[in-house]
């Protein structure tokens, strides 16, 4: 039977796993940043396009809530995106205080290109992985997500 001193690797392995997780986050973030920069975007602005692409036109207030930033921040991001012709601000049909933000056709094209890049990356990373292993790996990621959210009550 093992004594306590025989298992210093227990916590050690978990620490290595967490380090790898941080490493993935770092390099994935760098790659995403590079991908959006190639199309003249930043991560934050791409996030706006992505939200509009998935959920359709919405008010700046809704956008702020969905992105988890202040309304003031959304104003700045939209100013830049509008100057690039990627989004459009229109009057809200019933509430004259509000603004309805929507993708332009150019904005939609750019966002579809981003989605294409994402799908290519998914194929490169996981395309040749046996389904069983991929499922197990993804389940592990989901467990991590659950526990992180549980450990951080302030996370949305």
Partner DNA sequence: TATTGTTATACTCTATAACTATA
Partner DNA sequence: TATAGTTATAGAGTATAACAATA
Among 89, 91, 113, 137, binds a second copy (CB under 8 A): 137
Closest CA to 117 of 23, 13, 38: 38
Q: Is 149 in the site for a second copy (CB under 8 A)?
A: yes
Is 73 one of the binding residues for DNA (CB under 7 A)? yes
Residue placing its CB nearer to a second copy in the complex, 73 or 104: 73
Q: Which of residues 28-57 bind a second copy (CB under 8 A)?
A: 28-32, 34
Nearest-Å Rg of the Cα atoms of the chain is 21
Find all residues with CB under 8 Å of 32, minimum gap 6, and list them: 43
Look at residues 147, 114, 111, 108 and name the one whose alpha carbon lies nearest to residue 21: 147
According to DSSP, the residues that pair with 58 across neighbouring strands are 101
Please say whether the beta carbons of 69 and 95 come within 8 A.
no
42 in contact with DNA (CB under 7 A): yes
Quick one: 69 or 102, whose CB is closer to a second copy?
69
CA distance 47 to 8: 42
Residues lying near a second copy in the complex (CB under 8 A) = 10-11, 13-18, 20-25, 27-32, 34, 118-119, 121-127, 129, 131, 133-138, 140-142, 144-145, 147-149, 151-152, 154-155
Residues lying near DNA in the complex (CB under 7 A) = 42-45, 59-61, 64, 68-78, 80, 89, 92, 94-99
């Amino acid at each position: 039977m093992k004594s306590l001193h025989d298992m210093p690797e227990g916590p050690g392995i978990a620490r290595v796993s967490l380090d790898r997780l941080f490493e993935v986050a770092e390099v994935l973030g760098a790659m995403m940043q590079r991908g959006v920069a190639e199309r003249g975007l930043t991560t934050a602005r791409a996030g706006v396009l992505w939200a509009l692409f998935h959920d359709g036109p919405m008010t700046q207030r809704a956008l702020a809530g969905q992105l988890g930033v202040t309304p003031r921040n959304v104003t700045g991001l939209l100013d830049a995106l509008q100057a690039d012709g990627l989004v459009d601000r229109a009057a809200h049909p019933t509430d004259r205080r509000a603004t309805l933000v929507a993708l332009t056709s150019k904005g939609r094209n750019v966002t579809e290109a981003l989605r294409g890049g994402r799908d290519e990356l998914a194929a490169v990373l996981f395309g040749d992985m046996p389904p069983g292993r991929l499922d197990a790996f993804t389940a592990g990621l989901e467990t991590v997500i659950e526990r992180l959210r549980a450990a951080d009550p302030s996370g949305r």
